[in-house]
């Protein structure tokens, strides 16, 4: 008899001889099987097999079209261990047996049938099918657990990024919306140059950490409303290496490594006149080149206590003038192409009116070199 875990398996019997079909079905039921589908019409059986789940097929070969070989060919793409097929046929020539097995049958038994032998083969193949279903269930459960754990880790990492980004932003009076915008810009740029969705999402999550190193810069410098002195500017430049050190020593994930890369390279210039390493052209990682554009774009288009927001037209002119010097010229072309989408993000996440309006008005007339002095740049 069958073990209880196999009794509800779906077994399909196909034989165009009604007497053979009745014998097979009664033997299977006596063996303990409860869910049997029997077909004397081979075309009807094939249609059912192709549209329903099943665990085992016992198949005759010598039938009107479609014959057993035709059915095997039609089912060739199935998972053979999940849905095994036993050929039960009067065709006993070696070439018929080889052909049947080559077309995907798992087993072959010749008529006249030795029913005890057939039932043993049925049990063995059902055990194979049951083992496959069990392994598939275990794999799906494991994949679901991994997916849930990955989602938890991603959520935790996003929370950490948010906390650290806000911590750095509060030191320099940056806004939470600035942190959100900068990530959305980076994802949009990444998508526009054909990066994968996963890479775009990583850019969105990592980009807000670009200025995390400002946590290590004295507040007297960060909070200064006017332009920096040469000494203050050199101190400010340290934030790139500080940010890289912070993120390199964090979780060791691909996301944290990307954040560390962005923190280190987002002030490098295409012509080699940036910092901290003075890299040129494609020596600068792509993430750093994207970050440079996103960071400066948001700095120009946002009002701060020390500057008014630039217009869209002024911002475009600024980037065009610095294409090939400050910025990667290919990325500037992409920036211009998606500029309206960047503007939509900027407008949808606009900052509230900045503090120190008197100071803002005082700064509005300052020359470009002072206003852009370390963003103030």
What tens digit of pLDDT does each residue of 243-271 get? 999 888 656 678 888 999 999 999 999 99
Question: Does the structure show a pLDDT above 70 at 289?
Answer: yes
Q: In this model, does residue 365 exceed pLDDT 50?
A: no
pLDDT of 195 strictly over 60: yes
Q: Do 87 and 182 fall within a single domain?
A: no
Is 7 noted as a catalytic residue in this protein?
Answer: no
Do 178 and 127 lie in a common domain? no
Q: Please give the distance of CA 65 from its chain centroid, rounded to a whole number.
A: 46
pLDDT tens by residue, 48-88:
999 999 999 999 999 999 999 999 999 999 999 999 999 99
Exposure of 137 by Cβ count < 10 A (0-12 exposed, 13-18 middle, 19+ buried)? exposed
- φ/ψ of residue 110, rounded to 5: -95, 145
pLDDT digits (tens, 9 = 90+) for 17-48: 999 999 999 999 999 999 999 999 999 999 99
Confidence band of 242 (pLDDT split at 50, 70, 90): very high
The secondary structure of residue 83, as a DSSP letter, is S
Annotate 321-338 with DSSP letters as a single string.
HHBTTTB-HHHHHHHHHT
139 contact partners, CB below 8 Å, separation of at least 6: none
- 31: helix, strand or coil: helix
> Considering the domain boundaries, does residue 105 fall inside one?
yes
Choosing from 171, 214, 224, 307, the catalytic residue is 214
Question: What is the count of structural domains for the chain?
Answer: 2
Number of helical H runs and strand E runs in the chain: 16, 5
Check: CB of residue 36 under 8 Å from CB of residue 30.
no
The pLDDT of residue 134: 87
Tokens 């099918």 sit at which residue?
129
- Of 37-46, 172-181, 196-205, 328-337, the one with minimum mean pLDDT is 172-181
pLDDT at 368 over 50: no
Do residues 365 and 222 share a domain?
A: yes
| Domain boundaries, position 364 | 172-371
Kindly report the average pLDDT of the chain as a whole number.
86
In whole angstroms, how far apart are CA 376 and each of 66, 118, 178, 296, 366?
79, 85, 16, 10, 11
Average pLDDT over every residue of 203-215:
89
Q: Do 246 and 131 share a structural domain?
A: no
Q: 73 with 187, same domain? A: no
pTM strictly above 0.85? no
Which of 141, 157, 185 marks a domain boundary? Answer: 141
Residue 161, pLDDT > 70, answer no
Highest mean pLDDT pick, 152-161, 192-201, 227-236: 192-201
Last residue of one domain, picked from the residues 98, 125, 141 = 141
CATH number at residue 262: 1.10.3210.10
């Amino acid at each position: 008899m069958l073990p209880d875990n196999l009794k509800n398996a779906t077994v399909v019997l196909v034989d165009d001889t009604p007497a053979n079909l009745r014998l097979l079905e009664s033997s299977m039921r006596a063996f303990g099987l409860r869910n049997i589908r029997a077909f004397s019409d081979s075309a009807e059986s094939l249609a059912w097999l192709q549209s329903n789940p099943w665990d085992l097929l016992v198949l005759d070969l010598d039938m009107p079209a479609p014959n057993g070989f035709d059915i095997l060919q039609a089912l060739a793409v199935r998972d053979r261990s999940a849905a095994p097929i036993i050929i039960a046929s009067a065709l006993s020539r070696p070439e018929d047996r080889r052909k049947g097995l080559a077309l995907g049958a798992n087993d072959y038994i010749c008529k006249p049938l030795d029913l005890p032998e057939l039932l043993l083969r049925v049990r063995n193949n059902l055990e194979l099918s049951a083992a496959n279903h069990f392994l598939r269930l275990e794999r799906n459960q494991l994949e679901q657990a991994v997916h849930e754990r990955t989602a938890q880790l991603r959520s935790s990492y996003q929370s950490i990024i948010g906390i650290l980004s806000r911590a750095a932003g509060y030191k320099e009076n940056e806004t939470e919306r600035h942190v959100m915008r900068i990530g959305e810009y980076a994802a949009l740029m990444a998508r526009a140059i054909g990066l994968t969705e996963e890479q775009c999402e990583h850019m969105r999550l990592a980009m807000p950490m670009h200025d995390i190193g400002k946590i290590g810069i004295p507040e007297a410098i960060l909070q200064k409303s006017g332009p920096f002195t040469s000494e203050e500017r050199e101190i400010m430049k340290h934030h790139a290496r500080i940010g890289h050190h912070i993120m390199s020593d964090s979780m060791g994930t691909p996301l944290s490594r990307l954040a560390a890369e962005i923190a280190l390279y987002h002030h490098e210039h295409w012509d080699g006149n940036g910092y901290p390493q003075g890299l040129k052209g494609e020596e600068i990682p792509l993430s750093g080149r994207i970050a440079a554009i996103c960071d400066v774009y948001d700095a120009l288009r946002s009002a701060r206590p020390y500057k008014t927001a630039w217009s869209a037209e002024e911002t475009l002119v600024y980037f065009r003038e610095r294409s090939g010097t400050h910025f990667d010229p290919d990325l500037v072309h992409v920036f211009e192409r998606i500029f309206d989408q960047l503007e939509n993000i900027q407008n949808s996440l606009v900052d509230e009116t900045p503090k120190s309006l008197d100071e803002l008005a005082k700064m509005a007339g300052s020359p470009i070199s002072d206003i852009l002095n370390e963003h103030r740049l």
